[in-house]
Amino acid sequence: MASRTTSPCLIFLLALLLPLAAVAVPRRHRFPSLQLAPVNASEPPTTFFEVDRPIQPPRGSVGPCSALLLSDSFGYTYGRPPATAAYVPPECLAAARARGGSLALAVLEWSADCRGRQFDRIFGVWLSGAELLRSCTAEPRPDGILWSVSRDVTRYAALLSEPGEVAVYLGNIVDSTYTGVYHANLTLHLYFHSTTPSPPPLPHADLILPISRSLPLNDGQWFAIQNSADVQSRKLAIPSNTYRAVLEVFVSFHSSDEFWYTNPPNEYIEANNLSSVPGNGAFREVIVKVDDNVVGAVWPFTVIYTGGVNPLLWRPITGIGSFNLPTYDIDITPFLGKLMDGKEHNFGFAVTNALDMWYIDANLHLWLDHKSKKTVGSLISYDAASSANVDSQFSGLDGRFVTSASRHVSATGWVESSHGKVMTTFYQRFNYKNSNVYSKNGSEQVVNQTIDAKSGVSTTNGAVLLSEEVHQVFPLYLFSGTSDEVGDEYSLVSAIKLSINEKRGSGAEQGFSYSSLRNAQSARGSMRVKGNLVTSGSGENHQVYKYVGTDGCYSRDVSSKNYTIVFDHSDDSCLKGSQVKGSRFPSS
Ligand SMILES: *[C@@H]1O[C@H](CO)[C@@H](O)[C@H](O)[C@H]1NC(C)=O
Ligand SMILES: *[C@@H]1O[C@H](CO)[C@@H](O)[C@H](O)[C@H]1NC(C)=O
Ligand SMILES: *[C@@H]1O[C@H](CO)[C@@H](O)[C@H](O)[C@H]1NC(C)=O
Ligand SMILES: *[C@@H]1O[C@H](CO)[C@@H](O)[C@H](O)[C@H]1NC(C)=O
Ligand SMILES: *[C@@H]1O[C@H](CO)[C@@H](O)[C@H](O)[C@H]1NC(C)=O
Ligand SMILES: *[C@@H]1O[C@H](CO)[C@@H](O)[C@H](O)[C@H]1NC(C)=O
């Protein structure tokens, strides 16, 4: 793995000292928190939040039984080892097991506060090397802020029941300008089935192997990918009685690639001498390889962190996914036949067109056959193909770049275990289109992008055992206009539309499930920037979240202006006809 000799944050801070005046386009899109008002100790701290549906314990379950896993402060932590704490499974977990009860729900809760001025910082939480949460901090105010984020970690039941080590890396820098220190508590909440006999345990993995970097290290346990040729990997041997394997990938993008979807092609940068503008065009693809095979890809959702574009857009409603970054599952069961030889195999990550810096790691979820020592399998068919195309037209600082790309991966293989001889097919199909237009001598930029990702897995032993499909569409629109540039000061007007539209369907002998999510933000704001500091500004955001599924419904319609909530309506009832009955496959 590449050693990291320079730090992304330090590069960034140095860049800030350079004069801006030579560059008319495009602006950096990342800013620290504003420091407009003096500290007023009687002002209550602001609570930031990400809109999501509440995590509900299953009906009839008991709990929570809660355990504080770690409590720490993150001041000048950059380049230091992660905060760690020994993990001892909470006693209630063993007690419930002894009673024959099973885990119904596990929730990991991060709660934190901060005061002063600070950048948005990325952080990760790992248990025994497996990442459980990737998140970004909220940017503080002089009077202080609070926030919390909860993630359903029930799928890590196998890890939660073993002793281990919790690690949190939050690389922060504190100096006379950036004063915010983050104080955080990490708590685990467990719920158990109370009825006896308990319902059959959920089909969670028996073993979770981290594909990450091991402690000790002075950084996060993620791999840091610095350019398009960088491949980061780890060798792993998997148990010979594995019958199912799913890779869960964590991804976040930073520094020159924090806003990769706004990056122009290099020819435009070279022709205009814009050496400080990040390039490599606007298309990125995370590729996941096992040995020499591309087993899947991630075309990530365009998470905008809390200091992105205009920090006032994300207060107190933070950007979609910014407190709880999405993860991406790749089923590699069809490849198991190649992996169960007892030898080590190479699990690797690369990012097409990457610029410094992508943080990537994964958890390998494995299901083991308790009734045999060895399963056998074979890959039957495999296909991975991709294409990408850029149409560039520019003259001086004005131009139009249209990028399109597509990718298809599919693999079929069988595995024979005590569950029989089961054939698994996994497929992914991606389509991408990005239009990036500069006008008014490069002072205005409009990016309009859509990522369309479909994936599915089906298993059969003659009869269909399970069939699952996920269809995600990530539209993004971003307008950015610069004006009134005087020395190192300028004004910036921004508008953003950002959404996740997702449909999930699954069918098995036990029944069908279906869900549909529309989660959309529309935000606009303006600000005056001096150097890299926001000196004045305003921002507003409107978010509409609508989830309808066989497991319930949730909707929320919430709007903020500057730091104030303008309206906030939520509803968890399934209106007549809105809940989808689990009676058929979705059409998608
Ligand atoms: C366009 O911007 C460049 C770089 O800032 C500047 O040199 C040039 O004079 C501008 N042209 C016009 C027509 O404003
Ligand atoms: C401080 O905040 C309190 C409570 O909001 C307010 O009553 C008071 O006027 C503020 N003081 C100043 C100096 O702004
Ligand atoms: C962390 O927990 C301690 C002890 O319960 C509490 O005093 C503190 O306010 C908590 N901090 C945060 C940020 O939740
Ligand atoms: C870019 O820099 C080169 C060399 O310094 C110079 O000849 C050229 O005119 C510059 N082009 C622009 C568009 O400023
Ligand atoms: C963005 O592109 C899509 C199709 O590519 C188009 O339907 C939509 O109108 C565009 N949006 C904007 C704001 O230009
Ligand atoms: C937001 O705050 C700024 C100054 O802090 C003010 O100028 C602006 O009017 C406010 N905007 C709104 C929509 O309240």
578 in contact with ligand 6, CB cutoff 6 A: no
Nearest CA to ligand 1 atom 8: 441
Atom number, ligand 5, closest to the C-alpha of residue 446? 14
C-alpha 442 – ligand 1 centre gap (Å): 9
Tell me the CA–centroid distance for residue 448 and ligand 5, in Å: 6
pLDDT tens for the chain, 588 residues long, are 333 322 233 223 322 222 222 233 445 577 766 655 555 667 789 999 999 999 999 988 999 999 999 999 999 999 999 999 999 999 999 898 888 778 999 999 999 999 998 999 999 999 999 999 999 999 998 889 999 999 999 999 999 999 999 999 999 999 998 999 999 999 999 999 876 665 665 579 999 999 999 999 999 999 999 999 999 999 999 999 999 999 999 999 999 999 999 999 999 999 999 998 999 999 999 999 999 999 999 999 999 999 999 999 999 999 999 999 999 999 999 999 999 999 999 999 999 999 999 999 999 999 999 999 999 999 999 999 999 999 999 999 999 999 999 999 999 999 999 999 999 999 999 999 999 999 999 999 999 999 999 999 999 998 888 999 999 999 999 999 999 999 889 999 999 999 999 999 998 877 889 999 999 999 999 999 988 788 899 999 999 999 999 999 999 999 999 989 999 999 999 875 554 444 333 333
Domain boundaries, the chain: 46-582
Sign for the CA dihedral angle at 268, 270, 276, 281 comes to positive
Q: Which atom of ligand 3 is found nearest the CA of 185?
A: 1
CA distance linking residue 499 with residue 125, whole number of Å:
26
- Taken in order 251, 256, 258, 259, the sign of the CA dihedral is negative
Contact 77, 170 (CB under 8 A): yes
- Rounded to the nearest angstrom, the distance between the alpha carbon of 497 and the centre of ligand 6 is 21
Verify whether ligand 3 is closer than 6 Å to residue 47 (CB atom).
Answer: no
Task: Give the pTM.
Answer: 0.92
Nearest 10 degrees: Cα torsion 554, 555, 559, 564? -30
CA neighbours within 13 Å on the CB side: how many for 489?
7
The DSSP secondary structure of 182-198, one letter per residue, reads EEEEEEEEEEEE-SSSP
At 261, is the secondary structure helix, strand, or coil? helix
Closest-CA residue, ligand 4 atom 10, reads 273
Q: How far apart, in Å, are the Cα atoms of 359 and each of 250, 348, 435?
A: 8, 13, 26
Q: Is the CB of 273 under 6 A from ligand 4?
A: yes
Ligand 3 atom 13 nearest Cα: 112
Is residue 397 within 8 A of residue 271, CB to CB? The reply is no
| Cβ–Cβ < 8 Å for 567, 450 | no
Of the candidates 242, 205, 194, 236, the one whose C-alpha atom is nearest the C-alpha of residue 62 is 194
CB 515 within 8 A of CB 549: yes
DSSP secondary structure string, 383-435?
Answer: EEEEEEEEEEEEETTEEEEEEEEEEEEEEEEEEEETTEEEEEEEEEEEEEEEE
118 CA distance to ligand 3 centroid (A)? 20
CA of 145 to the centre of ligand 3 (A): 13
In angstroms, rounded to a whole number, what is the distance separating the alpha carbons of residues 303 and 463?
A: 40
What DSSP letter does each residue of 326-355 carry, written as one string? -EEEEE-GGGHHHH-SSS-EEEEEEEET--
Question: Alpha-carbon distance 462 to 449, whole Å?
Answer: 41
The pocket around ligand 2, CB under 6 angstroms, is made up of: 40, 42-43
Ligand 5 centroid to residue 111 C-alpha, Å: 38
> Which residue's structure tokens are 């609570």?
47
